[in-house]
Structure 1
Amino acid sequence: MLVSAILTSVGINSALCVLFLVLYSILKKQPSYYEVYVPRLLAEGSSKRRSRFNLERLIPSTGWLSKAWKLSEDELLSSSGLDAVVYMRTITLCLKVFSFTGIIGMLILLPVNCTGTELQQVDFADLYTSSLDVFTISNVKSGSKLLWIHFSSVYVVTIFICYLLYYEYNYISSKRIAYFYSSKPQADQFTILVHSIPVSAGSSVSDSVESFFTEYHPTTYLSHTVLRRTSKVQSLIVSSVFFFAHYCHQFFSFPLFLHI
């Protein structure tokens, strides 16, 4: 691991980050990309397209970065939805993990590795072409008791990450449940998929379903929709239904939606 290779990698990744930030700050201002970046605001009518040319759209800006970090979770939830809250908490989770592991690596593991004698010390006179393996576990002698510090650090980091994941899972789950109960009921939340409908003689599938569910489930049955392979559009719908069925580890020979 050469210093020149690390600097090259850092330079390339930094340039890509700057490029992506510039592209995002420009593309999010373009009216043709409003459906991608602000679909919620468009649906609510809070944002409108502006077709007139504006030079400001072509100038990258960074003000949105500070605004994004200053928003509280309640403000982010009301403006962008639950998915945005989960995304921001995922970023903060990664920052916590990187910060914790960085502290352990710099304050504990790095001094341990530097005290090893397996490799030649770094030549600071020619640092650009020198190898940094002396700062890694390769510099610790095989069988040394110092290796237990590495093993213990792995366990500590693993326990810390597992605790964070457990905490975030419980927190996000509670947020999703609260968001679910606070939102209006949707038809897809009360829809089931059935198949192999027995058809009575002289009646259609729709009539058979209607009579069956109104007789045995009168308090929960609302309506039904039969999906048939009679056209190209409906075949695409049936394909999507079969994809959903495969995802649920079930296979349906005659898909039918029931709204309960």
Structure 2
Amino acid sequence: SIRLGHLRQHFGDPLLVRTSSGLMATPFLEGLIGDIERAIKLLSPEESARRAFDPVTSTRRFRLGLSHIAQMVMLPEILGQFKVLGPGLKVESLDLDGTTAGLLESGQLDLAVGYTFELHNGFFQQRLFAENYSCIVRQGHPRIGDTLSKQQFLDEEHLALIAPATGHSMLDKVLEERGVQRKIAARVSSYLGLEQILVSTDLVAMVPSRLARTLALGDRIKILGLPFPSPTYEVRQYWHERYHHDSGNSWLRKLIFESFTNLPPVFTKLLGSVSSQ
């Protein structure tokens, strides 16, 4: 009766009145019954189960925060999986930057994939794989054949990447700690045009090995093992706890994890010190 009193006060209507047949709903309450039934249905566990994400019928657009390297290396695999598992699904890729955490929190990004970056409380993360490095040069480079000595690495001019939100952000520091000093002739903010730059110059680029493998598919680039132990970094996926139980987000996380978790290092024989941890 106390709760009924609160509802009567809230709606400004008696809601239930006594009649010769007992309590009966007022016309106002009868008009609410349909909405109340729908609300109860939506909150029921059975309804939640019925609304589980179905990739086969869904036309959902997933928004992913990806580094340029991930766009080149991982996105083709994700799109291939979508074509098989959910032909109506769509993907929108955004660059990783200082706004990534806020976009995940607000739901403007479903997932972010990349190197570890600063996140406050309320985020989940999951390790996918460890990445190492290789060098790439153009086919027909006048001074570099099928192997690369440390002296050649130090003598040649390099093309380097400026990418704060990727594993590359720590590369110069790691090389400096190991006493390796590159001659940087040019720096770029994206590797999307890397192949064209290299085939037009004699520059050397030190890049994640999976990107090197992707760029070498066109037969204009050759891959060389580093003449010293390779730095490594971990690639993880991140999401906000607001969407931890979202069935579509959960499906996407599982797909990416199963597709990329614990990938073996590339060129392990050339990079004998690479760790797969």
Shorter-chain TM range is: under 0.3
* Greater relative contact order (Cα < 8 A, sep 6+): 2
TM-score where L is the length of structure 1: 0.20
Whose helix fraction is larger, Structure 1's or Structure 2's? 1
TM-score where L is the length of structure 2: 0.19
